A = this chain, B = another copy of it.
Amino acid sequence: MHRVIISGIGVEIPEASIGNDELVASYNAWVEMENPRRVARGEPPLSKSDSAFIVHASGIERRHVHTLDGILDPERMAPRIPLRSDDELSVMAEFGVASASKALADAGLTGADIDMVIMSASHHQRPYPAMAIEIQKAIGSEGAAFDMNLGCSSAAAALHVAFNMVRAGAQRRVLVVTPELITGHLNFRDRQTHFIFGDASVAMVVEQMEEGATRAAGSFEVLDTRSWTQFSNNIRSNFGYLLRAGQDDTSIIAMEGNMITQVGNKVFKEVIQAATQFISEFLADNGLTTSEVRRYWLHQANARMNAMIMKLVLGHEADQDKAPTVLDRLGNTAGAGAVIALKENHEDLKPGDHGLLCAFGAGYSIGAALLRKL
């Protein structure tokens, strides 16, 4: 079997961003408009949101968004992204290509060097043609492509697949692309989730070490990958085509009630427990103690959750050097978060240093890759 490297990583973070105060002001303005209507309907009024609470609960201070227009308008509270014709590059493919191009440049490759594109993300713009095929065309690649979905573990699970496709020799170079355009699916009128997510797109080139021999220095060898899932409804979206079949009016689908919902306290408790066990077992199976791992690039959903996982994994608290945080300024970028943490925090690692990429989230799902700096 082939040895495998990640020869390039690309991160695309949209320029526009929203601080907690702006987001809260928009939410609270909507609440002030909405509450008289609710009271008139005999419904209890909604509570306002609060910046200090958001920082305390999540560690998030700011999030970047693909399209700012519309999100903060209390009359809309959703991004305004103009529809495109079928002949134009679609919005999600474009977002994916932005990170894919950077990953290719980072690897010193072009699209023609790639023989498989996996688009793996929490939400897909459409069922077919697969988003991955549109990205494949846009970067000038040939071979195979398909779409995957595993919530916030989408990139990690795709890396598990890519690693083994390359290891087995079925593909020479796989490009994993994770465009997380999550604000389009976010209910900015839901106090429990309106502050959580931000948009970002990431991509990784996964290739045979032999093919990338001249470019391997300074990159990461993938020593092992693992994926794990266990059903939970605590992070759920029911958006989908079958809603239509359950309605009298089959011409439309309601978004209300069919966007992401989360039972935060249960997720917090259950995912900490599962991730701690997963990380400890995965490292032990690879003959490593948790302290021998130089750096942990964890899923970026919640600062307190990551702190607790690290404390349980290591037996003591971890600093930013051990487990860097990017969610404070980016929010939860779903599948992209751990890869952004990796991209922004790896250049100081020395050859031979081990690092663990570990994502977790909806499903529940956990995915990890054990990396060694070359």
The answer to whether B255 touches A253, judged by C-beta atoms less than 8 angstroms apart, is yes
What is the CB-to-nearest-CB distance from A93 to chain B, in angstroms, rounded to a whole number?
9
Residues of B within 8 A of A230 (CB): 133, 137, 142
Nearest-neighbor residue (CB-CB) of A149 within chain B:
B147
As a 0/1 sequence over residues 120 to 161 of chain A, the CB contacts with chain B under 8 angstroms (1 = contact) are: 001111111110111011000011111111110000010011
The answer to whether A81 touches B245, judged by C-beta atoms less than 8 angstroms apart, is yes
The answer to whether A133 touches B168, judged by C-beta atoms less than 8 angstroms apart, is no
Q: Is A363 an interface residue (CB 8 A)?
A: yes
Give complex CA distance A253, B168 in Å.
43
Interface centre among A83, A149, A151, A242 (most CB of B within 10 A): A242
What is the CB-to-nearest-CB distance from A192 to chain B, in angstroms, rounded to a whole number?
16
User: Which residues 235-254 of A sit at the B interface, judged by CB distance below 8 A?
Assistant: 235-247, 250-254
Give complex CA distance A134, B160 in Å.
20
Give complex CA distance A144, B363 in Å.
10
Q: Is A96 an interface residue (CB 8 A)?
A: no
Q: Is A302 an interface residue (CB 8 A)?
A: no
The answer to whether A254 touches B252, judged by C-beta atoms less than 8 angstroms apart, is yes
The answer to whether A129 touches B82, judged by C-beta atoms less than 8 angstroms apart, is no
Q: Is A10 an interface residue (CB 8 A)?
A: no
Nearest-neighbor residue (CB-CB) of A227 within chain B:
B144
The answer to whether B238 touches A86, judged by C-beta atoms less than 8 angstroms apart, is yes
The answer to whether A240 touches B164, judged by C-beta atoms less than 8 angstroms apart, is no
The answer to whether B229 touches A127, judged by C-beta atoms less than 8 angstroms apart, is no
What is the CB-to-nearest-CB distance from A66 to chain B, in angstroms, rounded to a whole number?
9
Known: A167-B168, A225-B170, A253-B255. A246 touches B82 (CB 8 A): yes
The answer to whether B146 touches A227, judged by C-beta atoms less than 8 angstroms apart, is yes
Residues of B within 8 A of A148 (CB): 146-149
Cross-chain pairs A/B with CB under 8 angstroms, 28 sampled: A1-B168, A70-B245, A77-B250, A81-B245, A86-B238, A123-B241, A125-B240, A125-B242, A126-B237, A127-B237, A127-B240, A128-B362, A128-B363, A129-B232, A132-B229, A137-B230, A142-B230, A144-B157, A144-B160, A145-B365, A147-B148, A161-B165, A164-B170, A181-B242, A184-B245, A185-B241, A252-B254, A253-B255
Extra contacts, 7 of them, besides A128-B151, A129-B233, A146-B148 (Cβ < 8 A), are A70-B245, A122-B128, A127-B239, A129-B365, A133-B230, A133-B364, A144-B160
